[in-house]
Amino acid sequence: MYAEGTGRMLVKVASLWPVADASGEQMDQAAMMRYLSEMIWFPAAFLAGNISFEPVDDSPARVTLTDHGRTATGTLVLDKDGRLTGFVAQRYRTASASSPETWSTPITGYGEFEGLRLPARGKAAYKLPDGDLEYIDVTVTDLHYDTGAAAPEGRA
């Protein structure tokens, strides 16, 4: 989770038994980076005043989030049609890591949610010297924005 400049990694088996519970500077950075990468599912967040963009070359764009005195910067990778195909950044993998690792979240499929065409399938992996550590394969099947209005019938 990332909230008000602070990050925490809590991992539980079957949502019951904790196997990891980490916090501190590295987890603050890692959680902030994950938040930045997950903004693809709520794209209006990219319009906030604490987000800046910088072109890298013909395809990618560097995006920076500044929050509570911290910054997180990653690269949005685009295809020739301008469609987002991934996110790459330097991110801490553990609370005891001495330096961040290259982390990527390639997008492997799109869907339509709330009238927007958004990434619906993707992965996350750390690029390590001994090979990639792919640790998640995500499929988004439903997405609802809480705007403060009542949820559509059938959704809670």
The pTM of the full predicted model, rounded to 2 decimals, is: 0.85
Per residue in 29-79, pLDDT (tens digit) is 999 999 999 999 999 999 999 999 998 887 789 999 999 999 999 999 998
Per residue in 97-113, pLDDT (tens digit) is 999 999 999 999 999 99
Question: Within 13 A of 33's CA, how many CA atoms are on the CB side?
Answer: 25
101-131 exposure pattern, b = at least 16 Cβ within 10 A, e = fewer:
bebbbbbeeeeebeeeebbbebbbbbeeeee
DSSP codes of every residue in 47-90: GSTTEEEEE-SSS-EEEEEEETTEEEEEEEEE-TTS-EEEEEEE
